[in-house]
């Protein structure tokens, strides 16, 4: 499907795009459905109570990922991009105390989280690993309306019907009415060659087919402001992360040391790596604490892109706002191709689809702003993705903390290395990006479910929780 840069980069809250933002959005969509006339409402029937059940990966790691809380907040009518992260705890406490959700414009419904929110690990729903069912009842307990939603990664939510339509119309959706309808890296390179445009210019032309240049630029600047604000907040916070693992926040203390080193002019042979890591960790610590983040392309992988943009601003004297816009457009082009042809969901293909995709996007963005040709940019994305192939998703205790926080740091370092390697060549290389994406898809299909965001294998079962 044609993915706008604003589908790839979405402002929301942590800790997970698929397990927090998606379910919050699904709950809100269900509220809209209740008010609509899109269902056969029996005459005089009044919805008085709601229930939700989580299935597949949402059931297995939903507690650690805050899925239940996200459903409650969504049923209170809040959305990921506008909810105030500092108010979320109070909203949840209120619903638990009253046993009611009271979204604006609705009469209010019974919803007692400990009874009406079920983590159903026994019944996966066919269609996708991240599934949830929302149901509405009348005062006699009669089922009036039920809807299944799938959270397909990056905060995207679809119904069963929409998922089936997406699978049927894959090619058509990818080539929506835009001037450069590339659905693969090969097509992207062919169109760049034929048009003489850069990848960022083609992506800009596609976006400007549906919005003005001013709106596009303002939106891109808002995305970077949100990313940058997240880095800064993460660098200020201390203490332990919520969730019970007792993981210490480290970004602030590492940042303090780096600043001290910078002031004293001490030689640090891995200076750039340290700064990249601390920026990425700051974002992912904020994500783990349910702070405001931007999907890039997911929340779990939200640190890689912002870290590499901050690195670009910090270490490249020619960096400017136009460069950041080009970076985001290029990265979104690559993210869209990966999502269209494989997946960006840890529950579908493991962490190669999350941090691997983020690293590929970041490598492409960096290569673009460092003057790379379309071929060099495609090469940079391929190198970064290739060296994440096979990476599993095994978050300890179902929390987006270990290995996720450090993994973003390493994803950012690999992205810079990939961009640098690609820029030292002429763009000609052995493994095409499309082949690498297809390999990721196949590897994800073959991956045991234990390693796809269920916390039933890998580090999740080998690390003793203290
Ligand atoms: S291991 Fe990777 S895919 Fe899994 S939750 Fe962490 S960041 Fe996301």
Instruction: For residues 95 and 222, state if they share a domain.
Output: no
Sequence-distant (6+) residues with CB within 8 A of 256 are: none
Instruction: For residues 117 and 259, state if they share a domain.
Output: no
Instruction: For residues 232 and 116, state if they share a domain.
Output: no
Instruction: For residues 152 and 185, state if they share a domain.
Output: no
pLDDT in tens, 436-452: 999 999 999 999 999 99
- Measured in angstroms, how far is the CA atom of residue 320 from the centroid of ligand 1? 31
Instruction: For residues 409 and 339, state if they share a domain.
Output: yes
Residue finishing a domain among 135, 168, 201:
168
Strands 143-153 and 130-137: antiparallel
Q: Tell me if 173 is assigned to some domain.
A: no
Q: Tell me if 445 is assigned to some domain.
A: yes
User: Which helix (DSSP H) or strand (DSSP E) does residue 151 occupy?
Assistant: strand 143-153
CA distances from 14 to 81, 103, 286, 295, 298 (A): 11, 22, 7, 9, 10
Number of domains in the chain: 2
pLDDT in tens, 41-51: 999 999 999 99
Q: Tell me if 3 is assigned to some domain.
A: no
CA distances from 210 to 2, 205, 323 (A): 12, 9, 22
Cβ of 346 less than 6 Å from ligand 1: yes
Cβ of 15 less than 6 Å from ligand 1: no
- Measured in angstroms, how far is the CA atom of residue 391 from the centroid of ligand 1? 10
Interhelix angle 304-315/355-369, rounded to 10 degrees, is 20
> Ligand 1: which residue has its CA nearest to atom 6?
404
- Categorize the per-residue pLDDT at 266 as very low, low, confident or very high, splitting at 50, 70 and 90: confident
Separation CA 421–CA 27 (nearest Å): 45
Q: Tell me if 139 is assigned to some domain.
A: yes
Instruction: For residues 162 and 219, state if they share a domain.
Output: no
Question: Residues for the chain: how many in total?
Answer: 466
Q: Tell me if 6 is assigned to some domain.
A: no
Q: Tell me if 1 is assigned to some domain.
A: no
Residue 341 has phi, psi (to 5 degrees) of -100, -15
- Measured in angstroms, how far is the CA atom of residue 123 from the centroid of ligand 1? 23
Instruction: For residues 131 and 219, state if they share a domain.
Output: no
- Measured in angstroms, how far is the CA atom of residue 42 from the centroid of ligand 1? 44
> Ligand 1: which residue has its CA nearest to atom 4?
393
Separation CA 254–CA 273 (nearest Å): 12
Cβ of 405 less than 6 Å from ligand 1: no
Cβ of 300 less than 6 Å from ligand 1: yes
- Measured in angstroms, how far is the CA atom of residue 147 from the centroid of ligand 1? 27
pLDDT in tens, 370-393: 999 999 999 999 999 999 999 999
Nearest alpha carbon to residue 156 among 280, 402, 411, 336: 336
Q: What is the CATH number of the domain that holds 52?
A: 3.30.1330.90
> Ligand 1: which residue has its CA nearest to atom 3?
351
Which pLDDT belongs to residue 400? 96
- Measured in angstroms, how far is the CA atom of residue 399 from the centroid of ligand 1? 9
- Categorize the per-residue pLDDT at 242 as very low, low, confident or very high, splitting at 50, 70 and 90: very high
- Categorize the per-residue pLDDT at 434 as very low, low, confident or very high, splitting at 50, 70 and 90: very high
What's the mean pLDDT when you consider all of the chain? 96
pLDDT in tens, 6-33: 999 999 999 999 999 999 999 999 999 9
Instruction: For residues 78 and 184, state if they share a domain.
Output: no
Cβ of 400 less than 6 Å from ligand 1: yes
pLDDT in tens, 292-328: 999 999 999 999 999 999 999 999 999 999 999 999 9
- Measured in angstroms, how far is the CA atom of residue 23 from the centroid of ligand 1? 17
- To test the pocket of ligand 1, the residue of 301, 343, 402, 463 to mutate (highest count of ligand atoms within 8 Å of its CB) is 301
CA distances from 425 to 357, 382, 386 (A): 22, 13, 17
Q: What is the DSSP letter of 393?
A: B
Q: Tell me if 174 is assigned to some domain.
A: no
Torsion region of 453: left, alpha or beta (phi above 0 gives left; psi -120 to 50 gives alpha)? left
pTM score:
0.93
Judge whether residue 397 has pLDDT over 60: yes
- To test the pocket of ligand 1, the residue of 404, 414, 452, 461 to mutate (highest count of ligand atoms within 8 Å of its CB) is 404
Residue finishing a domain among 127, 149, 168:
168
Cβ of 402 less than 6 Å from ligand 1: no
Cβ of 404 less than 6 Å from ligand 1: yes
Q: What is the CATH number of the domain that holds 198?
A: 1.10.4100
- Measured in angstroms, how far is the CA atom of residue 296 from the centroid of ligand 1? 13
- Measured in angstroms, how far is the CA atom of residue 430 from the centroid of ligand 1? 29
Residue finishing a domain among 120, 140, 168:
168
Sequence-distant (6+) residues with CB within 8 A of 6 are: 219, 223
Q: Tell me if 358 is assigned to some domain.
A: yes
Q: Which residues form the domain of 77?
A: 15-168
Instruction: For residues 406 and 436, state if they share a domain.
Output: yes
Instruction: For residues 192 and 94, state if they share a domain.
Output: no
Instruction: For residues 161 and 188, state if they share a domain.
Output: no
Instruction: For residues 222 and 150, state if they share a domain.
Output: no
């Amino acid at each position: 499907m044609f993915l706008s840069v604003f589908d790839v980069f979405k402002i929301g809250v942590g800790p997970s795009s698929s397990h927090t933002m998606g379910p919050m959005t699904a709950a809100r969509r269900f509220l809209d459905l209740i008010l609509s006339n899109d269902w056969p409402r029996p005459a005089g029937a009044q919805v008085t109570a709601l229930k939700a059940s989580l299935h597949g990966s949402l059931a297995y790691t939903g507690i650690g990922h805050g899925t239940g809380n996200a459903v409650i907040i969504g049923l209170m009518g809040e959305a990921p991009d506008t909810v105030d992260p500092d108010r979320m705890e109070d909203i949840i406490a209120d619903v638990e105390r009253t046993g009611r959700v009271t979204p604006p414009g609705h009469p209010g419904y019974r919803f007692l989280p400990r009874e009406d929110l079920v983590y159903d690990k026994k019944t996966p729903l066919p269609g996708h690993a991240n599934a949830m069912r929302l149901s509405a009842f009348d005062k006699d307990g009669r089922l009036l309306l039920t809807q299944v939603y799938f959270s397909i990664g990056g905060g995207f939510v679809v119904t069963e019907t929409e998922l089936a339509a997406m699978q049927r119309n894959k090619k058509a959706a990818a080539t929506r009415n835009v001037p450069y309808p590339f659905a693969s890296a090969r097509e992207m390179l062919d169109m760049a060659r034929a048009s003489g445009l850069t990848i960022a210019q083609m992506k800009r032309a596609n976006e400007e087919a549906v919005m003005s240049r001013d709106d596009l630029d303002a939106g891109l600047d808002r995305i970077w402001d949100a990313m940058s604000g997240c880095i800064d907040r993460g660098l200020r916070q201390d203490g332990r992360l919520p969730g019970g693992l007792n993981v210490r926040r480290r970004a602030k203390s590492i940042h303090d040391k780096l600043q001290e080193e910078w002031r004293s002019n001490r030689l640090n042979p891995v200076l750039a790596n340290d700064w990249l890591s601390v920026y990425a960790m700051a974002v992912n610590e904020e994500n783990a604490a349910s702070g405001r983040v931007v999907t890039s392309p997911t929340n779990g992988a939200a640190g890689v892109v912002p870290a590499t943009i901050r690195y670009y601003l910090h270490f490249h004297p020619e960096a400017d706002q136009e460069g950041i816009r080009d970076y985001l457009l290029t990265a979104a082009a690559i993210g869209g191709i990966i999502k269209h042809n494989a997946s960006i969901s840890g529950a579908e293909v493991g962490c190669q689809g999350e941090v691997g995709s983020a690293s590929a996007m970041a490598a492409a963005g960096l290569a673009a702003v460092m003057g790379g040709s379309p071929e060099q940019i495609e090469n940079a994305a391929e190198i970064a993705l290739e060296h994440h192939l096979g990476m599993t998703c095994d978050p300890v205790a179902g929390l987006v903390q270990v290995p996720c926080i450090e993994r973003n740091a390493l994803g950012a370092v690999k992205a810079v290395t990939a961009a640098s390697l690609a820029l030292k060549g002429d763009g000609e290389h052995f493994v095409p990006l499309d082949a690498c994406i297809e390999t990721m898809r196949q590897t994800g299909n073959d991956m045991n479910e234990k390693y796809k965001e269920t916390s039933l294998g890998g580090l999740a079962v080998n690390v003793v929780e203290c």
